[in-house]
Chain A
Amino acid sequence: MTNTWQDIKNANVVVVMGGNAAEAHPCGFKWVIHAKIENHAKLVVVDPRFTRTASVADVYAPIRPGTDIAFLNGVIRYLLEKDLIQHDYVRAYTNASLIVKDGFGFEDGLFTGYKEDTHSYDKTSWDYELDGQGYAKVDDTWQDPRCVINLLRKHVDRYTPQMVSSICGTPQDKFLEICALFATTAAPDKAMTSLFALGWTQHSVGAQNIRAMAMVQLLLGNIGVAGGGMNALRGHSNIQGLTDVGLLSTSMPGYLVLPKDSEPTYKQYMATRQYKPLRPGQVSYWQNYGKFFVSLQKAIYGDAARADNDWAYDWLPKFDGGGYDIIRAFEMMNAGQMNGYICQGFNPMQAFPDRGKIRRGLSKLKFLVVMDPLDTETSRFWENFGPQNPSDPAKIQTEVFQLPTTCFAEETGSLVNSSRWMQWHWKAADPPGEAQTDIWIMSGIFHRMREMYRKEGGAFPDPILNLTWSYTNPTDPDPEELAKDMNGRALADIKDPTGTVTQHAGQLLDGFSQLRDDGTTTSGCWIFSGSFTEKGNQMARRDATDPREQGLAPNWAWSWPANRRIMYNRASADPNGKAWNPKKPIIEWNGSHWAGIDVPDFVPTIAPSESAGPFIMNAEGAGRLFARDQMAEGPFPEHYEPFESPSPNLLHPKVKSNPAARVFADDRAAFGSAADFPYVATTYRLTEHFHFWTKHALINAILQPEEFIEIGEALAKEKGIGQGGWVRVSSKRGFVVCKAYVTKRIRPLQVNGKATHVIGVPIHWGFTGQARKGFGANTLTPSVGDANTQTPEFKAFLVNIEKASGPAT
């Protein structure tokens, strides 16, 4: 989230699209209700189904799964055509005025630079026209046809209300009603918040879904302000923390990037990281990349990371090309290229697409280590559970180790919530049986492996042998010790620019501004720096005092970065430093520095007159309506159909789906066609359950006991399916036999003139736990991911449905 949960109450319009906040985030949803009651906010829900969120919405519009970009580009077109944008904000704080290179273009569904053979782009043309000093050229009058706003205008021109309705199936009147409501927040003192989750990420165009809304928000001046922002509602209590510490195959902690094969030296690696400002006077904070990186290396390797060995750069893995995401991992397992799997706190048998492929992959492993508090489907994949898991143990040679772990209440530590708050929690109960903390288990594995490397050598022992590991109890490091590692400490006395020593050697750092690239500081995750200082554990703070009751509570826990609650909050003030919304200011220029109720997301002493942009992580200091080379499939979002879709791409029939997506050949072969699988399916969560965990809890099992799918009344009638009757839902990859909920909440959509039926598949049931056995929605879903993140396309695929005579046998 750019903002906080509590800040939602400041919104005038709340749009829930690409998510189902009431259903999946009921506790956080209280702030939407606050917005409605205290701020008279309007709630807009756009969803294929009439959800629990829709049940309290002011406006609901249906949409075909996987067509959000068409909808949002239509919104952008509406805003630009009717000139309902926040002009001063867009002009000053976005890259609308910057001029794009002549070579850039878009034709027939492809941006310039497409390489058919690799399904990727040469992105050199996706950039600004630079002047002699290396600064982007600008036309503040927006007359130049090559300036971003005009290219955007041209790009979205095709997304007329008729076209939007034809692609999305959304009735035009509902679409226009929603556009008009969004547009009301273009007023400087009005804000709209966008709440989204997996409904946007789990698409082959997931990242672009989010970008499209971010652009709407920039045009309306809703980023950085109270009640605004792009707010990703995270699905697990610590999934934000997972991303923050870089548990992705191409990431390192703090959103640093793992080196590639093509960056064999530290120098080469750094050449493309320290972004030089693209406009005069910009902060371009990534210029400090080296400080973050060196401090990270010092945290990992301690004294072994030295200037003369490029801070142990050579010991980092270098990834080759696409990254080792989970889709690729299972592809490799199936190909026999990956033989061992340590599965920590993850249940791919339920959580990853094409369950058959997952099962086949696990069956080919030599060993599988599962670390989980629960008896997961993954740990029992080899066992026959009837039709729900038809494995034959005699034919599976995988050795499975189940290592029971503690759950959150049985351990001390921190969780990062959607608001980026790092909240410390304390152990409440002893774990049952032989369960141990993940830290204890990983320490044990580490010590044994290091011992083996020490004794037996090996191909490349250095990264293991040189790992720094100085904890009071080396076999079970204390969570506080680890938290201090993350925060970082001074290795030598640290001086501020005036020469005063701010931190003595050995002391914990106050924040990332103290990090150095000369090896005198460590920090395991630079954005967490400041969370555990000499003043104590900031994450453990529990002071709920909230200045002006604006939902910031700055002394409650600690929010990265720098305890800042609202990102880009410089943009809450106009170019002169006065709040756009005088009733809800966040920071303002007081004549000498920026001050207010939040930590400024800005250099506090840069005056408005210096015209530095508020988006300090971007080299141009501006919010990007044009993404330059940051996205895989183009600098503007474009509508591409899901990989399984019943409709042609009405905009460019030749380029139907995301041209930059990586699709493995066997996965492509497992895509079904609309001829065989005529119905659009989408998966989702229900309030009663948390993923695949709470089916192990009796109360949750009682509240939602058995697998079902949802279909509209029209399709049910056509297929002779009765309320609660048995059905068989199949995709090219597998089938599910379960009960049907025939509902008014899903209605056929008119797509390209044809009635398109949507089938909803909740995901929660498996073959372990207290609830009734189920097949699992991932039996049906296709193995294809977003072109940028490889997040699987769970939200739009094709199925067939037939009436079944009874439960599967």
Chain B
Amino acid sequence: MTPAEGNVVRYATVTRVNHWITAICFVLLTLSGLSMFHPIFFFVSTLFGGGQWTRAVHPWIGIVLVLSYAGLVAQSWRENLWNPDDTAWVRKFDRVLENDAEGVPEVGRFNAGQKSVFWAMALLIPVLLFTGLVIWEVYFSGFTPLVVQRIAVLVHSLAAIAAILVWIVHVYAGIWVRGSLRAMTRGDVTPGWAWRHHRKWLRSLAEPRSAGPDPRAERAP
């Protein structure tokens, strides 16, 4: 997809595809998982063809998610490493919430919130994977004692709830910070968006011999 005239490339196509695979899996897992978690959500299992299908398909979607998220981690773990600016950013989080940039440190490619989401998922997904394998009745129920399975099922649901909460924050942030969604759908952002939310990143892009995506690449005549 060609970025819009004058815009800055934020996510490469492969990253966007990777993200949306992860996102779709996550949504399906949330729906199927919740349907097996609380009776008020059981009706959702109908979407998957009923309880049996929900039960059968959930772990496989989980496997896809794990692989997919591993791709995201591989692509962007460096840019998500924590730095002192992030700590300062977090200190000013109240201002961030108020849409007030005053005193908030300039942000690189990812802000501390995004990084938190990234690392939270990077932590929770393996937990979900391993506990999920333990309680994957069809293949692995015979490998662990019941007490381990009981702990696993509890941890799995706690981790899933945590992941869902993180996801809610992530999704809301995407809605709240206008222009973000475009980054993941079209792959580009306006220079103003980059200036407003990831100024340090934009500055780095503006540097000659920048290692980042060439902001003008698509703008060349």
A and B in contact, CB less than 8 Å: no
Show the binding face of B for A, using Cβ within 8 Å.
Answer: none
Show the binding face of A for B, using Cβ within 8 Å.
Answer: none
